[in-house]
Amino acid sequence: MAKKITKICCIGAGYVGGPTMAVIAQKCPDITVTVVDLNQARIDAWNDPDVENIPIYEPGLSDVVGEARGRNLFFSTDVDKAIDEAEVIFISVNTPTKTYGSGKGMAADLKYIELCARQIARVAKTDKIVVEKSTLPVRTAEAVKNILQNTGNGVNYQILSNPEFLAEGTAVEDLHAPDRVLIGGDTTPEGQEALQSLVDVYARWVPRERILTTNLWSSELSKLTANAFLAQRVSSINALSELCERTGADVSEVARSIGTDSRIGPKFLKSSVGFGGSCFQKDILNLVYIARSYGLKEVADYWEQVIIMNDHQKRRFANNIVKTLYNTVSGKKIAFLGWAFKKDTNDTRESAAIYVADDLLHEQAGIAVYDPKVPAEQVYSDLDYLETRNSEKNKQYVTVFEDPYEACKDAHAIAVLTEWDQFKDYDWKRIYDGMKKPAFIFDGRHLLNEAALTEIGFKVYTIGKEAVK
């Protein structure tokens, strides 16, 4: 009989820890869920009396938090206390690409994971189930186990891998009705018992047949593999988008045509200015690094091509703006509609917009940004992070607007970088009247009605369609 869980702690109150724990607390009112983080400001925001001010924008999330917070969902910076009291500890801290030392630019930086493991080892006095929620290289559980089991204080640990598959912008929907929940554990009886305890938590709202159980290594590797396959589809359709632009084929028609083949399927075939987000690039680089470290050159090269194609797509979008605007954007105003890496999120990590902006700034363009959910400080911090130029220069050439019409006023061109629905409903005649002529639109998201805009007078370039004459 698996032990019934009553107290859960989650280390890391970010894009994954916050929403996943909020949903567990919502669905299991008899389980106390405490989410902890070192970042005081983030925890304060999760505890903000006005639930609309929680630090992550996700449709439906404030309702879930509003329902459970203070009842059985708590946010705190007291990490030791939460570890001490919990039976199950989720580790949901960031695992970014390493920026130093061996594996720099490729491998996952596991220092935050190791710190968590050491903290658990130091604090725990009773047996714990430790769950890897963060995305990790295959065999990380071995290292976590080593750290935990060598403390010699008599505490027994079981390590489970329970990777998260939610996508931002649809996190609550994905958590309420996941395609699957994946849990990996040791094949020993104790491992299987721990695994069953966690299965029982999810089974409160997820149909049993959607809860998959595997060994630890399959679970860890499945997460990297899922992201690699998804990103590969985007790079594949983006590769074809360039060929479409040269041949008169329309990439959205090609995508529709192949997507109706049930073996291919219609999802994740939307050509774009390039995928962004905190996961795809990081996880594929990690996969490439792991393959190289096992000496699997062809395997590594194969997956690396997904990233190479994505970088090419971002760059060629920027190059096309320069080329179309008579080979110079120096001193011209280019309005960016969207900065987030996809719609319905305020997350900008690895957003294509950052790299397109950087390329245009090299060409001395002035950039006017409007995004419904991204504040100005975030835009500047994303550009400063690249360290291409100093902060003053970024501030000098980039202006962030709170009104899209102001952002587009007097612009030579508009670039659509994020597929926010509201962009479709703008008064495009009004925008056209306020712009320099010819007025160009570069739609990197297949969002706008090309025919209607052309009728108004715009010169429209939609990614994956024949270029503007």
Ligand X SMILES: O=c1ccn([C@@H]2O[C@H](COP(=O)(O)OP(=O)(O)O[C@H]3O[C@H](CO)[C@@H](O)[C@H](O)[C@H]3O)[C@@H](O)[C@H]2O)c(=O)[nH]1
Contact positions vs ligand NAD (CB under 6 A): 11-17, 36-39, 42, 79, 92-95, 112, 115-116, 134-135, 164, 166, 168, 278-279
Q: Which is nearer to ligand NAD, 5 or 9 (CB)?
A: 9
Query: Of the ranges 6-14, 43-51, 164-172, 319-327, which one interacts with ligand X (CB under 6 A)?
Result: 164-172
Among ligand NAD, ligand X, none, what does residue 269 contact (CB within 5–8 Å per kind)?
ligand X
Per partner kind, with CB cut-offs from 5 to 8 A, the member of ligand X, ligand NAD, none near residue 37 is: ligand NAD
Angle between helices 216-247 and 297-324 (to 10 degrees): 40
DSSP string, 385-430: HHTSS-HHHHHHHEEE-SSHHHHHTT-SEEEE-S--GGGGGS-HHH
Residue whose tokens read 């580790």:
91
What radius of gyration, in Å, describes the C-alpha atoms of the chain?
24
Check whether 306 is labelled as a binding-site residue. no
Burial of 451 (0-12, 13-18, 19+ CB in 10 A): exposed
Q: Which of residues 18-77 bind ligand X (CB under 6 A)?
A: none
Nearest-approach distance from CB 351 to ligand NAD, in angstroms: 13
Rounded distance, CA 96 to CA 281, Å? 10
Q: Which is nearer to ligand NAD, 174 or 250 (CB)?
A: 174
Using the minimum distance from each CB to ligand X, give the nearer residue, 20 or 34.
20
End-to-end CA distance of the chain: give it in Å, rounded.
Answer: 70
Ligand-binding site membership of 231 (annotated): no
Alpha-carbon distance of 426 to 370, in angstroms, equals 13
Q: Which is nearer to ligand X, 108 or 120 (by Cβ)?
A: 108
Q: How far is the CB of 295 from ligand NAD (least distance, A)?
A: 26
Q: Using the minimum distance from each CB to ligand X, give the nearer residue, 164 or 220.
A: 164
User: 72 or 252, CB closer to ligand X?
Assistant: 252
Alpha helix stretches (DSSP H) within 137-205: 140-149, 171-176, 189-202
Question: Closest residue to ligand NAD, Cβ-based?
Answer: 14
Which of positions 231-260 make contact with ligand X (CB under 6 A)? 234
CB of 390 to ligand X, least distance (A): 28
424 token code pair = 């479709």
* Three-state SS annotation for 317-333: HHHHHHHHCCCCCCCCE
Beta bridge partners of 75: 35
Residue 164 and residue 202: Cα distance in Å, rounded? 13
135 assigned to a ligand binding site: yes
Question: Would you count residue 303 as binding ligand X (CB under 6 A)?
Answer: no
- Min dist CB 280 to ligand X, Å, is 6
List the one residue from 112, 205, 217, 268 that touches ligand X (CB under 6 A).
268
Q: Supply the minimum distance, in Å, between the C-beta of residue 192 and ligand NAD.
A: 25
Token pair of 296 as six digits? 């699997």
Q: Is 460 exposed, middle or buried (0-12, 13-18, 19+ CB in 10 A)?
A: buried
Separation CA 85–CA 128 (nearest Å): 10
Among 164, 186, 250, 371, binds ligand X (CB under 6 A): 164
Q: Is 16 known as a binding-site position?
A: yes
10 belongs to the catalytic site? no
Query: In the set 141, 194, 269, 435, which binds ligand X (CB under 6 A)?
Result: 269
412 binds ligand X (CB under 6 A): no
Q: What is the DSSP letter of 283?
A: H
C-beta of 21 vs 368, nearer to ligand NAD: 21
46 binds, among ligand X, ligand NAD, none (CB under 5 to 8 A by kind): none
The catalytic residue among 10, 116, 244, 279 is 279
166 binds ligand X (CB under 6 A): yes
Closest among 282, 17, 46, 217 to 134, alpha carbons compared: 17
DSSP 3-state of 449: coil
- Give the integer Cα–Cα distance in Å for 340 and 290: 29
Q: What is the largest CA-CA distance in the chain?
A: 75
Q: How far apart are CA 192 and CA 194, in angstroms?
A: 5
Q: Copy the structure tokens of residue 292.
A: 């190289």
Residue 275 contact among ligand NAD, ligand X, none, beta carbon within 5 to 8 Å by kind: ligand X
DSSP state of 77: S
User: Does residue 94 belong to the site contacting ligand X (CB under 6 A)?
Assistant: no
User: Rounded to an integer, what distance in angstroms lies between the CA atom of residue 134 and that of residue 351?
Assistant: 21
Shortest spacing between CB 15 and ligand NAD, in angstroms: 4
Q: Position 209: which residue type? A: E
Is residue 201 near ligand X by the rule CB under 6 A? no
- Tell whether residue 270 is a contact of ligand X (CB under 6 A): yes
- Candidates 14, 276, 372, 444; binder of ligand X (CB under 6 A) is 276
Indicate the annotated binding residues: 12-17, 37, 42, 93-97, 134-135, 164-168, 223-227, 263, 270-276, 279-282, 341-342, 349, 445
Indicate the annotated binding residues for NAD(+): 12-17, 37, 42, 93-97, 134-135, 168, 279-282, 349
Q: Which residues are catalytic, by number?
A: 279
Binding site for ligand X (CB under 6 A): 135, 164-168, 227, 230, 234, 268-270, 272, 275-277, 279-280, 341-342
